[in-house]
């Protein structure tokens, strides 16, 4: 495997473009010397200069979808504020809707915050997640079902 690197170069015209290449999978930092060496070499030989670096680390798992009625077009909309009060919306695809693991209340629409799985997701988001501005996420405030075909459960 490898780590994909995307470097944005800018010209004096104010128009940028990206260069993609791969470095060994052991590289997990965008400022790793393996990346900076290449960018510096391009900078030295070209008129355009690198202004940003993005690396992509890919993981894969063996996983099988459940047989519940929902599909990815069905969403559970999660409203999650961060420490500074900014609200973030997460749309969870194919939420569990019936039987064991149903994450909604009896009305089939309102997210059941007391559900153990929802509580666990809420705690996980609050403990390791951050908002766009970098502030810590807080527990899920509320949620509801949206999108997809209305199912009669």
Partner 1 sequence: MAWVAGARRKSTYYFQDRVGRVATVDVWVGGGEDDPEGGSVSTLRAAFLACTDAAIKATQILAYAKQDTTPAYGTDAFDRPTDKLEVGAITAEGIPVTMKLPSLLAANYQADGVTPLTTGAAAALMTAILENCVSADGEPLTKIKRARRMIPSGLKSWTRKA
Residue 86 touching partner 1 (CB under 8 A): no
Shortest distance, position 141 Cβ to partner 1, whole Å: 16
Residue 152 touching partner 1 (CB under 8 A): no
Residue 31 touching partner 1 (CB under 8 A): yes
Phi, psi of 76 (to 5 degrees): -105, 115
Burial label for 85, CB within 10 Å (0-12, 13-18, 19+), is exposed
Dihedral sign from CA coordinates of 18, 20, 25, 27 = negative
Residue among 63 and 107 whose Cβ is closer to partner 1: 63
Q: Which of 86, 87, 90, 108 binds partner 1 (CB under 8 A)?
A: 90
Residue 83 touching partner 1 (CB under 8 A): no
Shortest distance, position 76 Cβ to partner 1, whole Å: 7
CB atoms within 10 A of CB 41: 10
- 24 membership: H or E segment, kind and range: strand 16-24
Contacts of partner 1 in 92-151 (CB under 8 A): 92-97, 101, 103, 117-118, 120-121, 123-125, 127-132, 134
Shortest distance, position 69 Cβ to partner 1, whole Å: 8
Dihedral sign from CA coordinates of 138, 141, 146, 152 = positive
Spacing of C-alpha 50 from chain mean position: 25
Shortest distance, position 84 Cβ to partner 1, whole Å: 14
């Amino acid at each position: 495997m490898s780590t994909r690197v995307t470097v944005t170069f800018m010209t004096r015209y104010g128009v940028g473009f990206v260069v993609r290449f791969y470095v060994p999978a052991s590289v997990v930092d965008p400022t790793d010397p393996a990346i900076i060496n290449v960018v510096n070499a391009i900078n030295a030989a070209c008129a355009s200069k690198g202004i940003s670096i993005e690396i992509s680390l890919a993981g894969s798992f063996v996983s099988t979808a459940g047989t519940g009625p929902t599909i990815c077009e069905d969403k559970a909309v999660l409203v999650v504020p961060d420490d500074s009060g900014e609200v973030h919306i997460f749309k969870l695809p194919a939420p569990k809707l019936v039987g064991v693991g149903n994450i909604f209340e009896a009305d089939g629409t309102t997210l059941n915050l007391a559900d153990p799985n929802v509580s666990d997701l809420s705690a996980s988001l609050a403990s390791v997640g951050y908002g766009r501005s970098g502030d810590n996420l807080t527990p899920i405030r509320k949620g509801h079902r949206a999108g997809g075909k209305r199912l009669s459960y």
